[in-house]
Each structure stands twice: as C-alpha cells, then as structure tokens.
Amino acid sequence: MNEPAVVLDGVSVTYGRHEALRNVTAELPTGAIGLLGPNGAGKSTLIKALLGLLPPSSGRMRVLGYDVRESPLAIRARVGYMPESDAHMRGMTAVSFVAYCGELAGLPSSNAMQRAHEVLFYVGLGEARYRNVETYSTGMKQRIKLAQALVHDPDLLFLDEPTNGMDPKGRDEMLALVRDIATMKAITLILSSHLLPDVEFACDHVLVLNRGAVAAQGPIATLKGTSGRVFELRVKGGNASFLDAIRAEGLGCDGETTGVLRVYVPEQRPTQALFQIAAQHGVQVRHLRASVPSLEDVFARALGEPLDAARGKEV
Amino acid sequence: MIIATERLSKWYGQVSGLNDVTVSVPEGITGLLGPNGAGKSTFMKLVTGQLRPSTGTVRVFGEPIWGNPAQYHKLGFCPEQDAFYDHMTGREWLEALAELHGMNADTAHAAATRALEAVDLLDAGDRKIGGYSKGMRQRVKLAQAIAHDPALLILDEPLSGMDPLMRRRTIRLIKEWARAGKTVVVSSHILHEIEAMTSNILLMHNGRIVAEGDVHQIRALIDEHPHRVWIRAQDPHAVARLLLGGDDVSSVKFAEEGVIVETAKPDAFYTRLTALAASGEAGAIEEVTSPDDNLQAVFSYLVKQ
Amino acid sequence: MPIHDQGYRHYAGDRALHGRGWWVIARHGMVAPLRERRFLALLLFAWSPFAVHAVQLYLGATLVRSAFFVATEETFHTFLSQQRLFVFFITIYVGAGLIASDRQSNALQVYLSKPITRHDYIGGKLLTLAMFLAAVTWIPAMLLLLLQILFSGSLDFVLDHPRLVPAITLAATLQVVLAAVTMLALSSLSRSRRFAAMLYAGLVIFAGLLDTVLEGVTRNTAWMLISPQNTLLFIIRAIFDGPPDNVALLGSAVAALVALLIACVLILERRVRAVDVVA
C-alpha cells in the first residue's frame, strides 16, 4: 500500500484570532513519522484537525484515504489516539476501561472484552489489569493510554509524548513497544515528542512545524545529509603532548574540556594516523566515530537556529 | 563537600523513603538518577529542609539544614510540580519570591530582571503566568531557583515540557552556572541529557544509594559485566583473527561491517587495539565505539528488576 | 523483554457503531450506579410511595367503598408530585458526576477521539439519567394504573378518565426532562461533582425558598417563575386539573421552562467540546 497515510493540502486552522496552522501542505507516508516543533508550533492543533475535531478554515485533509470533512467518524474508527495528559475514567478497572473504549470504537461488547485483555498483556499490564486505574503509577498510566488507543486495532496511531514521566526502564520499554508497533505490526505511527533521540529511535520520517507552518519534512536519513570528515574521539591517558602531536600532524582538534575531542581529518589522511599518534604516546583510543549530524541539527536548521558547534556531549 | 549525609533515613509511617543513606555530593554538576519510587524526591526534600530526617543527619555547606532558615538563601529549588499563581505576571511572582528571601523591593526587582534575562523570558516577564506555554512555565520555575543567586541548586526534571532547542539551551545554561561556581544537583529520567551535562552521578534505588561518582569509573568497576566494543573495519575477519590472539578478549562476534568484541580487561584490550590499528596489520579500522560504556547501560545493569 | 509478540493480533471482527454510540454510553452509565448498595437502597425507597398507593388502590377497589381510598385522577397527580423528592436525590446521585467526573479525569479526550459525536455523548449521558428518573416516575405511575385495572377488574377507570394516560406521560416526561437536562448542564460546568450537586441543590431548594418568601410577602404568585421546581408543579397541576384562571401565568410558566431548557442545551453545546479538551 503506497498511498500516503495522511495528506494535507493548504490547511489553515484558526483559533479565534490566532492562526494555529497556516497553509500546511504535507504528505505523511505509512510507517513511523515524527512530529516535531517548538511549543505552540501547531502540533496538537494538527492532530485535532486530523481527528476531525477542529474544522479547518481552508484546505483539505485526507487520512487513510478518507476525507476528514466528509467522514470524520470513519476516520476515528480506524485511528487510535494516545493523549499526552492523563486520561482515565473514574472508578473503572483497567479491563473495563479498555473494553469500554473498544465498544465506543464500534466493537461488540464480547469482542471488546477479549481485545482488552490481549492488548493489556501486550503493553505489559497483564498482571495489573483487574486493578482500579486510579491506583496506577505513572508508567502504568502511560501504558493504559496506549492500550485504549490500540484496542480497536487502528491503522493509524497518534502518540503524544508517550514516555512522559516514565523512568528510564519504562521509557525503554515504551519505545520498544512503539518500535514494535511501527515495524512488526504494520500500524502507521505519528509520534509527537520533544525528545529527539526517541523520535530518532522509533521513526524514519519527520515533519517539523514552526509557528503553524511546515519547516521541514522528509525521511530522517535524507534530511540529515552526509557527514564530513569530522571524527569524535575519546581516549584514556590523553594529555597535552598528545593533543599537540595531533595538531602537529595537521589534524585540527578541539573540545578538550568536554572529554570528547572533535578531530578534523583532511580527505587524504586515513584514520590510521590517529591511532599511530595514540600508540606512540601510550594513549588508548576508546571511542572513534565519524561525526554524523543528529536529528537535533536537522531540527535546529529547520527552525533557522544556529547549529551548536561545540556540542560537548560526553559519550 | 557541599552536601553531606550521615546514615540518613526517612520513613512515612510504614513506608520507607530513604534507608540509611551516607553520601557526599561534591562541587559541580551531579546527576541524581533512579527509578520512580527510588527516594530521589525524598532526598531532595531532605536536602532543601522541607522534611525532617527520621534518623541521621543531612548537612549543607557544613550545617544541618532542617529548621535552619538562615541557610535557605544558599539553596535554590526547582520542583517538578507545576503550581503557580496564574494571575500574577512572571516578574511579579519572581519579585514576590525574592522579597521572601529578605531582599528589599529594589534588589528584588533587579534580581528578577537578571533571572528573567538568564532564562530568556525578559519580554514575557510582564505577561500573566496563566498565558505561558509549558516551556515558559518551566523556565520561570528555573528563574525563581536562581533569582537569589544561591550557591546550591537542586533541579527536579528541569527540562520537562521544553522543546529540543530550549532543552539544549538550558543544558548550556546549567553548565554555565556550574562554571560560575554553583553546585547543581539535577534529577532526571532522560539519561542522555544528564550525560550531556556531567559524568558525575548519584544513582538511587529502593531508598538506598547504588552508585556514586564518575560514570565511566563505575562502568570500569562493573567487571562481571564484560565491556562490549564495536569495531568497524575494512577486513573484519583479519581484525578478529588478530584480536583473538590475546587473553583479554572473551568473545568475538561478526555484525554488519565489523566485529563486536567482549572484554573483561578493558585497559589491556584498548592498548592492544590502538597498537593494532596504528600498525595497520589488520587493515584500516574506521570506527570504535562501546555501546554500553554509557549511563544507560550502567543504569540498567545496576537497577535490575 | 516487554514485548509479548504472541499477545497482539490484528482484529478481524465486526466493528461498526451504526450510530449507536449514545447507547453504549447510556448502557455503561446505567450499570455503574446499580453496583452501589446505597443507590439500590435509594431506588427501593423511591418505590415506597408506590407500595403505599398500591395498598390504597387495593382497598379502594375491593374492600372499603370509602371516598378516602377510591382512586381518582388526583391520586396520580399526588403520586407524581410526591415523587419529586426522589427525583431530586436520584438526579444528584447519578447526574452530578455524569460530565463533571469526565472533565476532572480528562476522559472527554478519550471519548471524543472515538467515532462518536458530541451529541452521542450528551445524548448517552442524558439517557442514563432519564432512565433512572423514568423508573421512579412514569413507570410506577403506569404500574399503579395497571394495578387499578387489575384490582377493579375492569377498564372502566381508564375509560372514564381518557386524559389520564397522556397526562401522566406528559407530566412525568416534563419532570424527567427538566431534571436531567438541568443537572447535565450544571455537571458540565464544573470538574467537581460535589460542586455540580451544590449548584443543582441551590437551584432547586434555594430558588424554591426564595419564591415562597417572595410570594408570601408580595402575595403575587408570579414569583414562582424564579423557581423551576414550583413552575413545574404549577404546569403539572394545569395538566391534571385543567387551565387555571390566570392563563397568562400558565403561558409565562411554559415560556420560562422552555427558556431554561434552551439555556441548558446551549451550555452543554459550549462545554462539551474537543477544543479545550484535547490539549
């Protein structure tokens, strides 16, 4: 199926006097797409508009082949939404809540109950599914939001900050689930998050919004572009004479204060030279990698911000 | 030592918050990590004097902090919760808090201006907090933590709600504060951001300290867990053959365009690898990385189920 | 590994609401209070006047031919009038949290991202409350009529009073609709069910008291218009007893209730929206 999952054509959405989306034209293919942008860029407005909850002042939108203006209910029956903020219903256990959501999406009640159990196991809440949702921890609340979005087996899933408030282990598990959903279960994902490494891990496409307009869109790999001959280098036992020796060889070097050196190696010189200098000075090379622009650089470039020359990231 | 605790425990009725914790936090930036429920917020509340220790002591700048309001001006706390007087403007709120620290109106005004400038909220300072975006609310929280120029900053998830560029700017800001001589304790679940700020960590679990210090040293100490090293080379088989010759290698696996080596003796191994790459015996070696010499791996290993 | 691969399968079964979203919501809303013992007790209590009247009808039809026990149209009027106490309590018990709880726990986001419309949501919630209210007004009233037929052994009573069935139905419907729509609108104004309950109680009790005082002081019955409860009672009396002398007042009463209902509907339309909710 090569038809794009979402098509936006000149979409504008106005909130009172504020233009939240301005003439947005984009095509989101099937797969996993990251939705990025500063606060107030229009990400949640976009999601609401695609769910048919906000009528646009101009433009057309198609989701999964349906026109949003004509068939919003048909779309919502095939789309799952995992909201950012806490959302549950008073006094219900996990199974009954998820089953109810399934019924609201059109499933007959017995099927909804079966699906609820299955989906709760899938998201890792199997043991706790008979407990009242109000007693859940943050991580569990995130999972149940995912469960209610999956219960009706959607073709498209909107995830808004899925790892919000979760501890590192929970984040890993959630991201693994997200990745599994996107790759193995053939469900298209639109992931909105401020955590770029999460997006980089789970998605292959991004759409960057800024002030209501599209700032960049496309496959992550294409947007990143090719790297130059800059290497990240971390050593053990390095000292001033080692750095002098590197510079003496005509290889530029900076970042000594951060623990990760950035070495500029001209095209003709092989990396062997670095190792030789290290061996000569009794220094162990512990990390050597060609520096690749990160998704953060793509984001910064898209927003017209200056790139951070000395990133100072300790790896 | 800036913060020093001695057999510090805190319990709430039956529930144990902190269990016999003896730790010292040095100058500079320290990352406070741990799963939810590990005791991080209890620790932070004890250090900022909001809770009274059940047993043990906690000293900040050498003096006990509980019931010692004279010391409070040395602390700045940025909590995780979002609770503001929405009808106040950012500036009004900062000035009110500054005055609570004992500043007179003029000094408070200047302090508020400086703080707003530092977090890039100067123009928005005269708007009501109720109209701020999530990122702005977070920034004004940070501003109140530094307005009175404290020597010790305790920050709980300081980057939450911020977009990627603001996160980067805030990380830079925190590092500037550390360079200016402040001590900063940052608690966060986003490990790669802690890594970007510091390599000094304090890892908690179940109310106890699991590890403290430099993350690489901690990693080196976890001997039982062999280091994995990924090497991308022109001729992976040649590299493998030559590496297997030494006793510092416990396993070699082929993957993509290189080899993944496990070693329990990292010093010996890396020295040999550097020499091997320098001599060119096994062909060109293009990339060396250790996917688990980072905070995430240390964390996962130390905080098992 | 957190991923249980064998756990998630794609769903190939039936999935169509066929426009019955409101029924799903109503069904779930009705089941929840019935699980609570306090509520069952309340419902039982609400049927105690029915029991008393049933005995009265029995005696009136079979044993004592005294005017005291014989059924008249007035019996049913009185019955419905008495039930207003239970209507009040059930409305607050079931209705105060109907929308307020959802607003507090942010459940509206979940509802509105499903293939149901706002009107499904409002309709379903209304129906939940309306069903319980009908169960303590219209249903027992009609049952009493049925009992009357059974005890007297003939349809004479119904045939002699042809307007009775429509009168009961109209009066009960007005009671139910007024209570349900007003409570639902107030519930949508707040995040706290207690606050919504207080608003409703204020509207009913306080307005009623104010009306009584003002009528007593000024001797002008037009003040009843500030109390929806008393306006409703006035209209129901007109339904059973025929138009009053002051027909203009009846017109104003109807107009006042209609205005209240319209205001409530407008409130509901404004408050149940996706825009503030899906944030």
Q: Is pLDDT above 70 for A111?
A: yes
Give the domain extent around C85: 18-271
Decide: pTM greater than 0.80.
Answer: yes
Give domain status of residue C13, yes or no.
Answer: no
How far is the C-alpha of A147 from the C-alpha of A154, rounded, in Å? 11
Give B175's contacts in chain A (Cβ within 8 Å). 312
The whole-number pLDDT of residue A312 equals: 36
Closest CB to B284: pick one of A236, A270, A284.
Answer: A270
The whole-number pLDDT of residue B223 equals: 61
Tokens (6 digits) for A109: 């009640």
At residue C109 the predicted structure's pLDDT band, cuts being 50, 70 and 90, is confident
How far is the C-alpha of C269 from the C-alpha of C263, rounded, in Å? 10
- Looking from the CA of A23 toward its CB, the CA atoms found within 13 Å total 0
SS3 B197: helix
- Of all residues in chain C, the one with the smallest CA distance to A48 is C278
Q: Is A304 left (phi over 0), alpha (psi -120 to 50) or beta?
A: left
Contact across the interface for A39 and B134, Cβ inside 8 Å? yes
Mean of all residue pLDDT scores within chain B:
88
Q: How many A/B residue pairs have CB atoms within 8 Å? A: 121
Give A111's contacts in chain C (Cβ within 8 Å). 11, 13-14
- In tens, the pLDDT along C16-58 reads 777 788 999 999 999 989 989 999 999 999 999 999 988 888 8
Q: How many A/C residue pairs have CB atoms within 8 Å? A: 134
Chains A and B touching, counted as 3 or more CB pairs less than 8 Å apart: yes
Give C114's contacts in chain A (Cβ within 8 Å). 76-77, 101, 104-105
Give domain status of residue C2, yes or no.
Answer: no
* Total domains, chain C: 1
Contact across the interface for A168 and B277, Cβ inside 8 Å? no
Share of chain A above pLDDT 70, in %: 92
At residue A310 the predicted structure's pLDDT band, cuts being 50, 70 and 90, is very low
Residues in chain A: 315
Closest CB to A104: pick one of C9, C101, C111.
Answer: C111
Enter the CATH code of domain B222-302: 3.30.70
How far is the C-alpha of C17 from the C-alpha of A261, rounded, in Å? 61
Contact across the interface for C279 and A85, Cβ inside 8 Å? yes
SS3 B93: helix
Q: Is pLDDT above 80 for A2?
A: no
- In tens, the pLDDT along A130-144 reads 999 999 999 999 999
Give B136's contacts in chain A (Cβ within 8 Å). 39
Contact across the interface for C97 and A150, Cβ inside 8 Å? no
Q: How close is the nearest chain A Cα to the Cα of C184, in Å? A: 17
- In tens, the pLDDT along B248-267 reads 888 899 987 889 999 888 88
- In tens, the pLDDT along C157-183 reads 888 888 888 999 999 999 999 999 999
- In tens, the pLDDT along A11-59 reads 999 877 888 899 999 999 999 999 999 888 889 889 989 998 888 999 9
- In tens, the pLDDT along B60-105 reads 998 998 888 888 889 999 999 888 888 999 899 999 998 888 888 8
Give C109's contacts in chain A (Cβ within 8 Å). 81, 83, 85, 87
The whole-number pLDDT of residue C14 equals: 75
Give C278's contacts in chain A (Cβ within 8 Å). 44, 47-48, 51, 53, 81, 83
Q: How close is the nearest chain B Cα to the Cα of A51, in Å? A: 23
Interface test mutation site (partner A, options C6, C8, C25, C102, max chain A beta carbons within 10 A): C8
Mean pLDDT of A152-156: 94
Choose the weakest-confidence range: A308-312, B128-132, C212-216: A308-312
The whole-number pLDDT of residue A64 equals: 92
- Of all residues in chain A, the one with the smallest CA distance to C272 is A53
Q: How close is the nearest chain A Cα to the Cα of B292, in Å? A: 10
Contact across the interface for A121 and C7, Cβ inside 8 Å? yes
Give domain status of residue C237, yes or no.
Answer: yes
Interface test mutation site (partner C, options A47, A89, A132, A174, max chain C beta carbons within 10 A): A89
The whole-number pLDDT of residue A131 equals: 92
- In tens, the pLDDT along A207-256 reads 999 988 999 899 988 887 765 577 888 888 777 788 888 888 777 776 65
The whole-number pLDDT of residue A313 equals: 36
How far is the C-alpha of C86 from the C-alpha of C42, rounded, in Å? 8
Residues in chain B: 305
With contact defined as 3+ CB pairs under 8 Å, the chains touching A are: B, C
Contact across the interface for C14 and A15, Cβ inside 8 Å? no
The whole-number pLDDT of residue A148 equals: 95
How far is the C-alpha of B12 from the C-alpha of A204, rounded, in Å? 47
Contact across the interface for A87 and C102, Cβ inside 8 Å? no
Closest CB to A38: pick one of B37, B165, B273.
Answer: B165
The whole-number pLDDT of residue C276 equals: 54
- In tens, the pLDDT along B44-65 reads 999 999 999 999 999 999 899 8
Domain A230-290 has CATH 3.90.1690: no
Contact across the interface for A308 and B168, Cβ inside 8 Å? yes
Domain boundaries, chain A: 6-220, 230-290
Q: Is pLDDT above 90 for C123?
A: yes
- Of all residues in chain A, the one with the smallest CA distance to B275 is A279
Tokens (6 digits) for C112: 């509105």
The whole-number pLDDT of residue A228 equals: 56
Give domain status of residue C267, yes or no.
Answer: yes
- Of all residues in chain B, the one with the smallest CA distance to A259 is B199
Closest CB to A107: pick one of C15, C28, C101.
Answer: C15
Domain B3-219 has CATH 3.10.129.10: no
Concatenating the DSSP letter of every residue in C124-165 gives HHHHHHHHHHHHTTHHHHHHHHHHHHHHHTSSHHHHH-TTHH
Interface test mutation site (partner A, options B157, B163, B242, max chain A beta carbons within 10 A): B163
With contact defined as 3+ CB pairs under 8 Å, the chains touching C are: A
Give B195's contacts in chain A (Cβ within 8 Å). 313-315
Give B290's contacts in chain A (Cβ within 8 Å). 286-287
Q: How close is the nearest chain A Cα to the Cα of C37, in Å? A: 15
Q: How close is the nearest chain B Cα to the Cα of A237, in Å? A: 10
Q: How close is the nearest chain A Cα to the Cα of C33, in Å? A: 11
Distances A99 to A144, A178, A258, B212, C87 between C-alpha atoms, Å: 11, 21, 52, 45, 31
Contact across the interface for A81 and C109, Cβ inside 8 Å? yes
- Name the DSSP letter for residue C224: G
Mean pLDDT of C185-190: 93
At residue A177 the predicted structure's pLDDT band, cuts being 50, 70 and 90, is very high
- Name the DSSP letter for residue C79: H
Residues of chain B with CATH 3.40.50.300: 3-219
Window A:38-57, CB contacts with B under 8 Å: 38-40
Q: Is pLDDT above 50 for B154?
A: yes
> Chain B contact for A285, CB < 8 A?
yes
- Of all residues in chain A, the one with the smallest CA distance to B131 is A40
Contact across the interface for A44 and C279, Cβ inside 8 Å? yes
The whole-number pLDDT of residue C265 equals: 94
Concatenating the DSSP letter of every residue in B128-174 gives BGGG--HHHHHHHHHHHHHTT--SEEEEESTTTT--HHHHHHHHHHH
Window A:148-167, CB contacts with B under 8 Å: 165-167
Please give the CATH superfamily to which domain A6-220 belongs. Answer: P-loop containing nucleotide triphosphate hydrolases (3.40.50.300)
Q: Is pLDDT above 90 for A300?
A: no
The whole-number pLDDT of residue C3 equals: 52
The whole-number pLDDT of residue C277 equals: 42
Q: What is the ipTM of this complex?
A: 0.86
Closest CB to A195: pick one of B190, B284, B288.
Answer: B190
Contact across the interface for B300 and A280, Cβ inside 8 Å? no
Q: How close is the nearest chain B Cα to the Cα of A104, in Å? A: 31
Q: Is pLDDT above 90 for A161?
A: yes
Instruction: Reduce the secondary structure of chain A to three states and give it as a string.
Output: CCCCCEEEEEEEEEECCEEEEEEEEEEECCCEEEEECCCCCCHHHHHHHHCCCCCCCEEEEEECCEECCCCHHHHHHHEEEECCCCCCCCCCEHHHHHHHHHHHCCCCHHHHHHHHHHHHHHCCCHHHCCCEHHHCCHHHHHHHHHHHHHCCCCCEEEEECCCCCCCHHHHHHHHHHHHHHHHCCCCEEEEECCCHHHHHHHCCEEEEEECCEEEEEEEHHHHHCCCCCEEEEEEECCCHHHHHHHHHCCCEEECHHHCCEEEECCCCCCCHHHHHHHHHCCCEEEEEEECCCCHHHHHHHHCCCCCCCCCCCCC
Mean pLDDT of B207-217: 86
Window A:189-208, CB contacts with B under 8 Å: 194-197
How far is the C-alpha of B190 from the C-alpha of A171, rounded, in Å? 9
